[in-house]
């Protein structure tokens, strides 16, 4: 019989299909003498629910019942199980190779030529993980790809602790236009707090106007709560200019990520 859309989409995408799969497996393990109560206890549903599922499986030709308390998986049922099991195998392979494998590999910029299999030292500079051939650093890893200087290189098998200082965020609240906007901000204040090496982030039109009036070119204008926090976590100092009613969102994110910050009066 034709399978429904949920079954075609994969056994893990439908609770119904997942339950049918488990019931068929339990029947195949115990057939022909199968207790609905045992099946129910094994998979954590009621005996009545097992009975309802069995009725559907029998009607679809996946199970036959030669007598009371006796159930067998038909050839069609075995074929269905094999198909769903193949799907599960493919999914598990994807998770283990593509998902978990990617999590275990970090990407760095090569400071010099690196050959696959080389041991490299890791450091954090300018907000970017760097890989240098050799073991001179406090943190080492193994290169899983080759790279020339300045290219990206995959690294894994980390040893040691990556020592670097987190960045600091200086936040300046910019008034809304009806409260004075960028005109209420002293340009000298922005210059005094702009980092020598780091980022300038502007959240809101008034903040962008204030930055440009002070001759600053913002590096970040969109998605700033995440960008500012991530930059600081990677060791960059950040000047954050945020319209007054957006500032709290940024500070909440910084506190969540344990990033140090200072709020400065824009009129100073």
pLDDT for residue 3: 44
Nearest CA to 174 among 216, 219, 217, 204?
A: 204
CA distance to 108, 132, 173, per residue, from 138 (Å): 16, 12, 39
pLDDT for residue 95: 67
Is pLDDT at 103 greater than 70 in this prediction?
no
Which overall architecture, per CATH, does domain 5-102 show?
Answer: Orthogonal Bundle (1.10)
pLDDT range class, residue 198, cuts 50, 70, 90: confident
User: CB atoms < 10 A from the CB of 93, how many?
Assistant: 10
pLDDT digits (tens, 9 = 90+) for 26-50: 999 888 888 888 889 888 899 899 9
pTM for the full predicted model: 0.57
Domains of the chain, by residue range, sit at 5-102, 106-160, 169-264
Asked if 143 and 135 count as a contact pair (C-beta separation under 8 A), the reply is: no
Angle at 117 between CA 113 and CA 121, to 5 degrees: 60
Arithmetic mean of pLDDT over the chain: 87
Pairing status of strand 128-133 against strand 106-110: parallel
């Amino acid at each position: 019989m034709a399978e429904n859309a949920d079954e075609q989409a994969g056994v893990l995408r439908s609770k119904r299909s997942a339950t049918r799969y488990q019931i068929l497996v339990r029947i195949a393990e115990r057939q022909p003498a199968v207790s609905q109560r045992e099946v129910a206890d094994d998979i954590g549903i009621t005996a009545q629910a097992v009975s309802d599922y069995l009725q559907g499986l029998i009607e679809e030709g996946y199970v036959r019942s030669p007598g009371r308390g006796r159930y067998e998986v038909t050839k069609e049922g075995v074929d269905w199980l094999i198909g769903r099991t193949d799907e599960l195998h493919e999914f598990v392979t994807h998770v283990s190779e593509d998902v978990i494998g990617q999590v275990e590999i970090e990407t760095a910029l090569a400071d010099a030529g690196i050959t696959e299999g080389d041991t490299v030292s890791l450091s954090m500079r300018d907000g970017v993980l760097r890989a240098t051939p050799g073991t001179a650093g406090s943190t080492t890893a193994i290169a899983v790809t080759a790279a020339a200087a300045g290219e990206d290189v995959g690294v894994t098998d980390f040893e040691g602790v990556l020592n670097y200082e987190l960045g600091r965020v200086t936040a300046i609240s910019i008034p809304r236009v009806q409260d004075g906007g960028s005109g209420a901000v002293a340009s000298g204040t922005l210059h005094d707090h702009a980092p020598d090496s780091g980022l300038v982030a502007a959240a809101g039109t008034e903040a962008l106007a204030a930055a440009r009036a002070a001759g600053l070119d913002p590096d970040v204008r969109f998605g700033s709560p995440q960008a500012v926090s991530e930059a600081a976590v990677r060791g960059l100092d950040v000047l954050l200019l945020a319209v007054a009613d957006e500032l709290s969102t940024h500070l909440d994110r910084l506190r969540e990520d344990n990033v140090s910050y200072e709020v400065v009066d824009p009129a100073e």
